[in-house]
Amino acid sequence: YSSSVDAHYNISVLLRLESLDIPQTGILPTLIMAVVSYCFILTCNLTILLAIALDHNLHKPMYILLFNLSINDLMGATAFFPQLINTCVFQALTVHLYCAGALTILTVMAYDRYVAICQPLHYHTIMTPNTLIKMIVGIWVTDLVLVGTLFLLLTPFSLCQTFISDVYCNNPSIMKLICDNTTVNNFYGLSLSVFLQGVSSIAVVFTYIQILKTCLHNKQSNTKSKAIRTCATHLVVFTVFQVTTIFTIMSHRFSQVSPYLRRSVGSSFLIFPPILNPLIYGLSTKEIRGKVMFLFNRNKINFKK
């Protein structure tokens, strides 16, 4: 796969992406799996978006945040398919916006659940529509400013190589094409990763610990088990996302890491979260599942007519 660099970088070259080293016999099954996975991601996330958009009863903080998470997942999954993106730098920007967006949205969603479960009597006074709008605007503005700055720091440089050491374009792989001193870029990139992943990890762990404490003191066993199961599932998904992104970032800085392992893990956080998020956060929710079934049954009846 080849991709033209932005004219912004004043260089006319073709960048070559590193492959997954798939055997000839495995190309067709891999292609089929990729197409099926992408279609599944589109179907699940678009279903969530449609269900929330059409049902006024779902216009609540948790579901509106989930709406934004689905948009973010669609962006990340689409960015992973290079044949759909014809500009390397734009693909890299989209991938990083997806990562930062996922961390900030999941953090705000954890806070929303914390307020709903630990302070139920104050929920509607804390999570007002005005507060929710500020949170959503804050998520995307923060995402754009932090990630935008990361890529603006690349503008003074010219590329002296053309081989992307990854299966998709990202900031670390683009910086490897620069022969000049990129100390500032490296420092900002690592600081950004530490800040986003550190703050989100602390916030999510703290909120879920408080939620679990509240659940353990709840005398209703059904409510307790459901809440604990939900929290555990969310924490597993969040932890997997954190581990894979940290590994991907750090693997570019250590030559001892297997290139195949780096490429495989680096691809996983763009594939699995967009698949799992709508299933765990969306379709497993009773209200959204009910709306989806209602829409499906109504369309089924109309089709029969």
Taking only the tens place, the pLDDT of each residue in 273-297 is 888 888 877 766 777 777 777 767 7
- Total structural domains in the chain? 1
What would the two tokens of residue 46 be?
């678009």
Structural domain of 277: 2-304
Q: How many helices (H) and strands (E) does the chain have?
A: 10, 3
Rounded Cα–Cα distance for residues 71 and 9 (Å): 29
- The pTM of this model reads 0.76
Say what the pLDDT of residue 184 is.
Answer: 92
Q: CATH number of the domain that 127 lies in?
A: 1.20.1070.10
What is the C-alpha to C-alpha distance for residues 170 and 97, in angstroms, rounded to an integer?
11
Per run of 10 residues, the mean pLDDT along the chain (length 305 residues) is 42 61 68 78 86 83 88 85 65 88 88 86 88 89 91 84 82 87 91 92 88 76 67 80 86 80 83 82 72 69 53
H or E element, residue 112: helix 88-118
Beta bridge partners of 163: 16
